[in-house]
Amino acid sequence: MRERTVRPDAAISDEWGKERLLEMDSHYLWHHLSPHQANPMIAVTGKDSWIEDIDGNRYFDGMSGLWCVNVGHGREDIARAAAEQMTRLAYVPLSHSHIPAIRLAEKVSRWLGGGFRIFFSNSGSDANEVAFKIARQYHQQNGQGTRYKFISRHRAYHGNSMGALGATGQAHRKTKYEPLGEGFKHVQPPYCYRCPFGQQLGQCELQCAKAIEEAIVWEGVETVAGVIMEPVITGGGVLVPHSDYLRKVREICDKYGVLLIVDEVICGFGRSGERFGHQNFDVRPDIVTMAKGITSAYSPLSATAVRDEIYEAFKASGHNGHFRHVNTFGGNPVSCAVALKNLEIIENERLVERAAEMGRKLAVLLEGLRLHPNVGDIRVFGFIAGIELVEDKESKEPAAPEKLAKVIAGCKERGVLIGKNSDTVPGFNNVLTLCPPFVTTDEELEHVVEALGQSLALLA
């Protein structure tokens, strides 16, 4: 069962007691991605891989918040870095420059293997919007102004702004918001458990990659600007591709002069067991977008990294030759200072290597759950896991939402917060997700899987 503590720093005054806060929550707060909650958990403190609510209950944060608190909660050295930067220089727009942005741009380029220019924004959605605009303008300035389309995949998520949501391949996320940004086309995902092409794992010819080539040809090569993809489709169900898939896509993009945009918002900064997820597959993208783990969520920041050769096209003369995009808070000095400290922690504590090690341990621990009659598939990539629940193994019919809710509630009762692929594809929101902080201990990981196993047993 979950631990419960009563701590002085979690005490709430009579004026701001729990019932009063819940009443205010009900009247004033609009919750993300959910109907309004009558009794939401109110978090008050966090330390390492745990958060504590207003009642003193402690929960293991099995999703690192929202796939992002990679170095764990309560890092005082990150707080100090933010405070020091705030007192020195809290803000200047990046139409000028400042030292934290310069240092961080150099470090991100180095983490990518060198040869990248970095454009800072606020969120993953922003980073992808920047990528789309850069790709279109790049082709324009190379005399290929008809290239404006982007190929994405069904099940993929790339953001909630109108362009990024257009790239997203999740019908539930788009309902009631269309029409969205123009020029986004979708192909079947690399989904080995439910192969859209009816193939068997290890016996296919990567038709999922060939579908991208077909889309480029059928749309008209001269109209396609880029292909955007996560190394692994994360929020859409943790869909892990064949090891040759990304290399094949890279070859296709090169063949047709199409830019490869890799969305590293979740997979980046160590989550994959490498510095970036595409490095697991030995490919070099043209554009890389990133957010979340760049600061471990201690401050909002995102980045769009562009190969130097692409950046050169923006030195064109003429009134519209430069990239005409501004972001008020993008590359804020405080956020950049936080990111620098966050990456320093990851390097000094060897947390990329730790994520890889813990991912291997998680894969081993989860194997025992495959025998459960409602577990259809288990997919692990780096330190991320997706457990796909079904009504039965033979039909693979997706498990009813009530079953997932029961497992998630059971885990919470046992002191573990896990996630699922919410509001993605109609009828297929049936994947439980795990994305623990890199600082998770072996014992904590065992506790997570034990809680998950006990909660699955509730379905029997």
Domain ranges of the chain: 8-71+351-459, 77-348
Nearest to 49 by CA among 358, 258, 360: 358
pLDDT at 15: 65
Task: Look up tokens 């995949």; give the residue.
Answer: 153
What's the pLDDT at 251? 98
CA distance 181 to 110: 33
Query: Which pairing describes strands 302-307 and 287-290: parallel, antiparallel, or unpaired?
Result: antiparallel
> Residue written as tokens 């794992």?
201
Phi, psi values for residue 283, rounded to 5° = -125, 160
Judged on CB neighbours under 10 Å (0-12, 13-18, 19+), 67 is: buried
Q: Greater confidence, 35 or 78?
A: 78
Instruction: Give residue-wise pLDDT tens across range 41-78.
Output: 999 999 999 999 999 999 999 999 999 999 999 999 99
To the question of domain 77-348 being in CATH 3.90.1520.10, the answer is no
Using pLDDT thresholds of 50, 70 and 90, give the confidence band for residue 10: very low
Mean pLDDT of 144-164: 97
Task: Provide mean pLDDT across the span 412-429.
Answer: 95
Once rounded to an integer, what is the mean pLDDT over residues 100-125?
98
In this structure, what is the dihedral angle of CA atoms 17, 20, 21, 24, given to the nearest 10 degrees? -160
Torsion sign, CA atoms 456, 457, 458, 460: positive
Question: Has residue 14 got a pLDDT over 60?
Answer: no
For the purposes of burial, counting CB atoms within 10 Å of the CB of 382, is it exposed (0-12), middle (13-18) or buried (19 or more)? buried
First vs last Cα of the chain: how many Å apart?
20
Q: Residue 209's beta-bridge partner residues?
A: none
pLDDT of residue 361: 98
pTM here? 0.95
pLDDT band per the 50, 70, 90 thresholds, residue 2? low
**Residue 1, pLDDT above cutoff 50:** no
Q: What is the DSSP string of 326-377?
A: --SSTT-HHHHHHHHHHHHHHHHTTHHHHHHHHHHHHHHHHHGGGGSTTEEE
Cα–Cα distance for residue pair 377/370, rounded to 1 Å = 7
Is residue 261 within 8 Å of residue 310, measured between CB atoms? no
Homologous superfamily assigned to 8-71+351-459: Aspartate Aminotransferase, domain 1 (3.90.1150.10)
Is it the case that residue 11 has pLDDT exceeding 80? no
**Could you tell me which residues come within 8 angstroms of residue 349 by beta carbon, excluding any fewer than 6 positions away?**
71, 439
Give the pLDDT of residue 320: 87
